[in-house]
Amino acid sequence: MTEAPESRKRTQIAADDWQGVQPSRSLSSNNDYSNVRDEGHSTAVRIRKDGRLDVNFQKHRPWLTTLMKHAERFPEPATEERGPLTAVSEGEKKFPLHLNIVIQVIGSRGDIQPFVALGKELQQHGHRVRLATHLAFRNDINDEGLEFFNIGGNPEELMSFMVQNPGLLPGMRAIRSGAIQKRRRQMRDIFSGCWRSCVETGDGTGLHHITHDPHSHAVDYCTRPFVADAIIANPPGFVHVSCAEKLAISLNMMFTMPWSPTQSFPHPLANIRSKSTKPSAANFASYGIVEVMMWEGLGDLINRCRKKDLGLDPLDATQAPTMVHRLRLPFTYLWSPSLLPKPHDWSDNIDICGFQFLPATSDYHPPEDLDAFLKAGEPPIYIGFGSIVVENPENLTKLFHASFTMVVPEPQLQDYF
């Protein structure tokens, strides 16, 4: 029986839920996939239950074919020759140009900490640095001597959401539960907070500020006007480009995982299935697909921020997803090239600068029981997850225990736990 238009309309997710996602009418709670609507055209892209994109490249998909042909035309793109790098000597601690730099970071402690190290280094060279992130990290940032600005969002709720939806788009359980509406409201507040971090005096909390030392003659940063001269941001902020456009200032993107199109490996949030397409072409195309799907989910909120907060024209959905890459904005990745070398098709506006660590304190003394454990035998193997929330820690522990039994004899296994 043909479904009535009214009934068909009710099966779609509204813009306030998750723009662009339509659950299958035969979907059950155990189904691993939901189809993605693309204005009535099948795109061979499905959302897995874990939230990652399952991309099936087929020759009869017109827009995918065009994208793949573009990648296959240059299987090994020629890279520009690098000019000589100008190193800064150890004695040069100050630069003649002092900038107001805002660093906009969304994520957990592991996402924030590398930018704290970066901010301290920039500060040593005479720049004023404001780290704009979640309120939960205010004390940690202030303790490191950096200015803090609250952009909203709760990192614990963010991590909980990511654990339940570890991929790009949410699973159907999250859509049904109403978590998407809450997540979108948070993102709307974060977008507004990112813009305010560029131009607003204070720390973004809107609370009356009491100085730490009322007898000090030093000027409190919360009372000093701030207008950004440059922005450093990680991709999940989304409105960084719009903020830089509004102020006509420089933007440098930084991240801890690959986000720039390459033929060497696929986007980390895409699961590629390619039978009749070269892997290099499928890898390259996966980045465009992920960007399109991200815009499907948040594009309306980004344009709302542009119009309401920034007074800018809305972005075109056909151009916005790839804008950062088409503009060749500077992009710096925070890992070691020994771990993952720079791909040959990344141009000179993209670089890998290594991990960023805060200096370790030398006066640390472990508790007595920990010190005794470390001295009791061979150096232990440590497995940590930082601030990531684990949905089922018991099962994860069993998984590691089973993995160790494959390489460590059972009688010796107890020495490792």
Per-residue b or e along 301-322, where b marks 16 or more CB atoms closer than 10 Å to that residue's CB? bbbebbeebbeeeebeeeebbe
Q: Which residues contact 129 (CB under 8 A, 6 or more apart)?
A: 101, 103, 119, 120, 122, 123, 146, 147
For residues 345 and 260, what is the distance between their CA atoms, to the nearest angstrom? 10
Structural domains of the chain, count: 2
pLDDT per position as a tens digit, 205-214: 987 555 555 6
As a whole number of Å, the CA-based R_g of the chain is 24
113 part of a folded domain: yes
CA 59 to chain CA mean position, Å: 31
Per-residue b or e along 137-165, where b marks 16 or more CB atoms closer than 10 Å to that residue's CB? bbebbeebebbbbbbbbebeebbebbebb
Show the domain range for 234: 100-208+219-352
Same domain, 224 and 263: yes
Question: Mean per-residue pLDDT for 410-417?
Answer: 59
Strands 53-57 and 100-104, by their bridges, are unpaired
Kindly tell me if the per-residue pLDDT of 6 is higher than 50.
Answer: no
pLDDT of residue 377: 81
Same domain, 325 and 392: no
pLDDT per position as a tens digit, 165-213: 555 455 555 555 556 777 888 899 999 999 999 999 999 998 755 555 5
Which of 166, 157, 203 is CA-nearest to residue 184?
157
Residue 236 sits in a domain whose CATH number is 3.40.50.2000
The residue to which tokens 């607003």 are assigned = 200
Kindly tell me if the per-residue pLDDT of 251 is higher than 60.
Answer: yes
Same domain, 408 and 330: no
Q: Which of 352, 382, 408 is the last residue of a domain?
A: 352
Which of 293, 269, 326, 267 is CA-nearest to residue 43?
293
Q: Which of 327, 352, 377 is the last residue of a domain?
A: 352
Same domain, 345 and 374: no
Same domain, 187 and 242: yes
Average pLDDT of the residues of the chain: 77
pLDDT band at 380 (very low <50, low <70, confident <90, very high): confident
Same domain, 135 and 276: yes
Same domain, 346 and 382: no
Residues present in the chain in total: 417
Same domain, 329 and 381: no
pLDDT of residue 305: 97
Tell whether pTM > 0.75.
no
14 part of a folded domain: no
36 part of a folded domain: no
3-state helix, strand, coil in the chain (%, to 5): 40, 10, 50
pLDDT per position as a tens digit, 332-353: 999 999 999 999 999 999 999 9
pLDDT per position as a tens digit, 57-79: 655 555 555 655 555 554 444 44
CA 204 to chain CA mean position, Å: 22
Same domain, 186 and 263: yes
Continuous segment of H or E residues that includes residue 333: strand 331-333
149 part of a folded domain: yes
Same domain, 225 and 314: yes
Kindly tell me if the per-residue pLDDT of 8 is higher than 60.
Answer: no
DSSP strand E in 32-177: where?
33-35, 45-48, 53-57, 100-104, 128-133, 147-150
pLDDT per position as a tens digit, 259-312: 999 999 999 888 777 666 677 888 888 898 889 888 988 999 999 999 999 999
Same domain, 338 and 391: no
Cα 175 to Cα 156, 213, 412: the distances in Å are 19, 48, 46
42 part of a folded domain: no
Question: Mean per-residue pLDDT for 9-31?
Answer: 37
27 part of a folded domain: no
- Given a contact cutoff of 8 angstroms between Cβ atoms, the answer to whether 270 and 290 are in contact is yes
For residues 228 and 218, what is the distance between their CA atoms, to the nearest angstrom? 22
pLDDT per position as a tens digit, 104-117: 999 888 899 999 99
Q: Which of 352, 381, 398 is the last residue of a domain?
A: 352
For residues 42 and 27, what is the distance between their CA atoms, to the nearest angstrom? 18
258 part of a folded domain: yes
Kindly tell me if the per-residue pLDDT of 246 is higher than 90.
Answer: yes
Same domain, 283 and 173: yes
Which of 161, 179, 169, 176 is CA-nearest to residue 54?
169
Q: Burial-class residue 58 by CB neighbours within 10 Å (0-12, 13-18, 19+).
A: middle
- Given a contact cutoff of 8 angstroms between Cβ atoms, the answer to whether 391 and 164 are in contact is yes
63 part of a folded domain: no
